[in-house]
Amino acid sequence: MDTTNANTALASALVEELARCGLRQAVLSPGSRSTPLAVALWRQAEIEVSVIVDERSGAFFALGAAQASGAPVAILCTSGTAAANLHPAICEADHSSVPLIALTADRPPELRGIGAGQAIDQLKLYGDSVRWFCEVGTHEADDEGLLHYRSTACRAFAAARGKPRPGPVHLNLAWREPLAPLPVEAVVTAREPLALEGRDPRPLTAVTSIDLEPSEFLLDEVAGHIAEAGAGAIVAGRQLDPELREPLAHLAGAAGYPILTEPTSQLRCGPHDRSHVVTTYDLLLRDAGFARTAAPELILRFGEMPTSKPLREWLATSNADQIVVDPLGDWNEPTRRAAAVVRADPTELAAGWAARLGEERPAPVLWLDAERAARGAIKAELEGIEAPTEPGLQLALGAAYRDGDLVYTASSMPIRDQESFLPSTEADALFLCNRGANGIDGLVSSGIGAARTSGRPTTILTGDLGLLHDIGGLAALREVSTPVRIVVIDNDGGGIFDFLPQKRALERDEFEALLDTPRGLDVAKAAALFDLPHRRLEDLADLPEALAAGTGLIEVPVDRQANSALHERLASSAAAAARPA
Ligand SMILES: Cc1ncc(C[n+]2csc(CCOP(=O)(O)OP(=O)(O)O)c2C)c(N)n1
Ligand SMILES: [Mg+2]
């Protein structure tokens, strides 16, 4: 603990406890009011600090880091609008259950609401988006004050890690002068060793995690249900645990179910048994005939609900019993048709159900044949096109991903094309996204934060407007030494809007002005501003070489005008190929 003055003592006690709880990474943005905490974080040996000027980017960087590591990351900013800039990433962390500890510096109560400057109302600034808000208060560095700061740190860390659902927490911390670490005599009056030192090296208060072990009853009951049901399907949406792969593959084999895998489920790609993996459900289920023929009696859902609209519609109009594995105590059930929400560890559930089912059932040939036919049709259709296309890029990326890679994919078309077209390969890569709140903001920063914390070779996939939105995020590349390849899918505007009814309902110039918004972003100049290498990919065959070149911007020019028609063609070819002869 730093006893230079009362602020340094309180701030360093708080940070010391965060470190003892397990905090290893913090992101901070410069400011005066936050100096006591900034210095404490900077000087705490176990905590790596990244300094990012723009708080919005900094918070998304922290979000990406926390998502990639699964451990809480702290984000510190000064008072005023700086704190408001954390809000988008906090919303995303809330919806995606990512542990973040937001530390906002504030003016003390006597300087609020009197025109003292840089003071906005920071109390409960993020509303219900945080798991816990605490106005930490202004305290003396006495026994009670220091114990309060230490205890608050332990509670904040535990709340971010999850009860059981991880997410953001917000500590608002007011500081009086001196904000700089200037010596003040006799202000640290604490005497109790626990207040002064805590329980080094353990936290003041260790908090156990909540046990999600499924009961025997739950395992028997649902396994019996699966055994009795006829056709079924496993739907695997975003979840981050690669340990789920093997047990879920076993369960699919034992139940004779296909696994409809969104890439961010970590089940589409990997070294596990992928014999039951289906990647083309988004295309196949557009075909009413296939959707009907494939109607299941039982659906087992793991992870979040995938993005695919045809899949969502299929689930929402299905008469199947749906069992939703939702361990975090959220309400991950937009179909409103689930028969049960199961609150237990997904890996143990899958392993337990698979073990109880025993023998393998016949493979789901309807799905597996359709998958093979659809993939063949997609490949054939795309081979006939020379210039890069958005679906074609996903095939090329699929062939290029390697074990250990991290892929961070933007909302809008990149995540949708990844879901529709990325093939299943053995690459043991980690697929992340910001799909909790579906923003196009902060994606570059999130990807760089994930690269920073994981040390994995990283590929960020973003649209051109996505890049424009977080262009300042590129500044954070200075924090990272591992390769970060930013693939900019440049269709000059919001290509996603071409798929909406607005496209036909609006005049052409209105549509372009209000939705499409082509901005003619010059990716080479964006790269130059941050002194980054830039490559423009005219041929997808050059992708492996471009990725191997390391950190930089890879611009992939694609034709927006042709894109929606190509998507339609691919879906109808895939469905036609999959239709039983
Ligand atoms: C923060 C935020 N603002 C606006 C939107 C609405 N929005 C969804 S997609 C999109 C366009 C994205 O364009 P781009 O990144 O180029 O991707 P493309 O649609 O071309 O694939 C916009 C503005 C959003 N999702 N999030
Ligand atoms: Mg675009």
Residue whose CB lies within 8 A of the most ligand 1 atoms, among 393, 434, 440, for a mutation test: 440
Question: Can you give 157-170 as a three-state secondary structure string?
Answer: HHHHHCCCCCCEEE
Name the one residue in this structure whose structure tokens are 């890879």. 554
pLDDT digits (tens, 9 = 90+) for 36-75: 999 999 999 999 999 999 999 999 999 999 999 999 999 9
What percent of the chain lies above the pLDDT cut of 70? 100
Q: Compute the average pLDDT of residues 531-553.
A: 97
- Asked if 361 contacts 374 with a C-beta cutoff of 8 angstroms, the reply is no
* Cβ atoms of residues 254 and 319 within 8 Å: no
Contact at 8 Å (CB) between 537 and 555?
A: yes
Task: Give the pLDDT of residue 581.
Answer: 55
For the chain, what is the mean pLDDT? 97
Indicate whether residue 434 lines ligand 1 (CB < 6 A).
no
- Residue type, position 91, single letter: C
The whole-number pLDDT of residue 309 equals 96
pLDDT beyond 70 at 326 = yes
Q: Is 440 in the pocket of ligand 1 (CB under 6 A)?
A: yes
Is residue 117 within 8 Å of residue 88, measured between CB atoms?
no
Ligand 1 center to 465 CA (angstroms): 6
Tell me: pLDDT of 580 over 80: no
- CA of 463, nearest ligand number: 1
Token output for 291: 């959707």
pLDDT tens for 145-194 read 999 999 999 999 999 999 899 999 999 999 999 999 999 999 999 999 99
Give the number of other Cβ atoms within 10 Å of residue 421's Cβ. Answer: 27
Count of other CB atoms within 10 angstroms of residue 509: 8
Which mutation among 496, 521, 563 tests ligand 1's pocket best, with the greatest number of atoms within 8 A of CB? 496
DSSP lists the bridge partners of residue 455 as none
Q: What is the pLDDT of residue 320?
A: 95
CA–CA distance, 100 with 233 (Å, rounded to integer): 34
pLDDT at 479 over 60: yes
For the Cβ of 464 lying below 6 angstroms from any atom of ligand 1, the answer is: yes
Q: What is the mean pLDDT of residues 197-223?
A: 96
pLDDT digit string (tens) for 505-515? 999 999 999 99
pLDDT of residue 330: 85
Q: How many helical (H) and strand (E) elements, i.e. helices and strands, does the chain have?
A: 23, 18
With bands split at pLDDT 50, 70 and 90, how would you rate the model's confidence at 100? Answer: very high
